[in-house]
Amino acid sequence: MTINQLRYFCTAARCHSITGAAKLLFVTQPAVSLAIRELEKEFSLTLFSYAKNRLELTKEGEAFYEQAAALLRQSDDMQAHFQDRAQTRPTVRVGIPPMLSTVFFPALIDAFHEKHPDIWLELSEFGSVRACDMVQDERLDLGLVNMEHYSIDKFSSLVLANDKLVFCVEPQHHLANVEHLTLDKLDGEPLILFNHDSVQNQLLNQHFRTLGVSPRIILHCSQLVTTLNFLRSGKCGCFLFSSMLPYVPELKGIPVEPEIPMKIGLVWKKGKYISSYTQTLKRFCEKYYKEHPLA
């Protein structure tokens, strides 16, 4: 039995899928299947049953999962604890949404590095949905996310800022002069949305379905520069955080009614040991956003 075998097994159990586990772990499907077979052989157990292309734990598998998950937590906690004491330079893995990393996070990171040059930050761009998944799977220490995520209660969290969505267009767009926008006016309108792993998208699509509105989605995008290039035609619009408007003065931001509020914050895994340098980053972010509130 190895830690990797247990990790592969537990991930497959959570995903109910060999394919899903392999994707999350960035390994091949045969590697996950082999790990499970070797565990079953070593302990003379049948860990999974198969029904409608879905993995389900057997009773033996459920008992084995509880023990395996506990061992993994202990292993990860031990690694994090002693990594804290190691002489190597500490690193905090942080997931940040692409749009926020474009305008908000760089200044915070510069200020953090200036005050804490001994702590490295390993930043990766992910939408809030994927960032939360990676925090849960312990591939990220912290996620800067949209707190409107449907499963946010599963995480420990800290709200950093409150914001709202505005509809953004070039001045020549035919909706540029309206004082406020109701979402029913977007039926059939060309629209750019964030990528599919964005909480913002989930919320907007929920509103669209409720209203029976079907915008014409021409692009799913995570990069502000690309979005701006498409908007320059004056024929399409997008939704941005209201606090981003000072960074894109060429756009007209139209308030949405009823308002669609957004909360931005940090999430980390419940019950997991948090290293001292991760705690340092959390406290710094909280203080920084109080002293530099979003516009």
Q: What is the CA radius of gyration of the chain?
A: 22
**What does the pLDDT read at residue 82?**
67
Confidence category of residue 91, pLDDT binned at 50, 70, 90: confident
Q: Same domain, yes or no, for 254 and 270?
A: no
Tokens encoding 99: 């749009």
| pLDDT beyond 80 at 84 | no
More confident residue, 103 or 28: 28
Clarify whether residues 145 and 276 are in a common domain. Answer: yes
Is 253 found in the same domain as 174?
yes
Question: Which pLDDT band, with edges at 50, 70 and 90, does 103 fall under?
Answer: low
Residues 205 and 59 in one domain: no
* pLDDT at residue 110 tops 60: yes
| Domain co-membership, 258 together with 167 | yes
Length of the chain: 295
- Supply the range of the domain harboring residue 152: 91-161+263-291
Both 138 and 281 in one domain: the answer is: yes
| Listed residue (100, 139, 145) closest to 122, CA to CA | 139
Backbone angles phi, psi at 176, to 5 degrees: -65, -25
Q: Give residue 140's identity as a one-letter amino acid code.
A: L
Strands 216-220, 190-193: pairing kind:
parallel
Give the burial class of 252: count Cβ atoms within 10 A of its Cβ; 0-12 exposed, 13-18 middle, 19 or more buried: buried
Q: Are both 186 and 152 inside the same structural domain? A: no
Say whether both 40 and 72 belong to one domain: yes
CATH number, position 59:
1.10.10.10
The two structure tokens encoding residue 222: 């995570």
* Rounded average pLDDT over 79-92: 67
pLDDT at 116 over 80: yes
Q: Output the domain CATH number for residue 272.
A: 3.40.190.10
Residue 184 has pLDDT above 90, yes or no: yes
Rounded Cα–Cα distance for residues 9 and 182 (Å):
48
The candidate with the shortest Cα–Cα distance to 91, out of 294, 290, 275, 291, is 275
**Residue at a domain's end among 64, 84, 104:** 84
The beta strand positions in 58-125, using DSSP E, are 91-96, 120-125
19 and 78 fall within a common domain: yes
Which of the residue ranges 26-40, 76-90, 111-125, 241-255 would you say has the lowest mean pLDDT?
76-90
- The residue among 187, 183, 125, 166 whose CA lies nearest residue 248 is 166
For residues 249 and 168, what is the distance between their CA atoms, to the nearest angstrom?
A: 11
Q: Which is it for strands 216-220 and 155-169: parallel, antiparallel or unpaired?
A: unpaired
Picking from 46, 66, 84, the residue at the C-terminal end of a domain is: 84
In a shared domain, residues 213 and 174 = yes
Domain end, chosen from 67, 84, 101, is at: 84
170 dihedral zone (left: phi>0; alpha: psi -120 to 50; beta) = beta
Same domain, 154 and 204: no
Residue ranges with strand state E in 66-119: 91-96
Domain count, the chain: 3
| Arithmetic mean of pLDDT, 118-132 | 89
What rounded mean pLDDT belongs to the chain? 88
CA separation for the pair 199, 22 (Å, rounded): 24
Dig out the tokens for 28 from the structure: 């091949």
pLDDT at 233 exceeding the cut of 80 = yes
Q: What CATH number has the domain bearing residue 233?
A: 3.40.190.290
Of 40, 44, 42, 51, give the one whose Cα is nearest residue 17: 51
Q: Is residue 106 located within the same domain as residue 117? A: yes
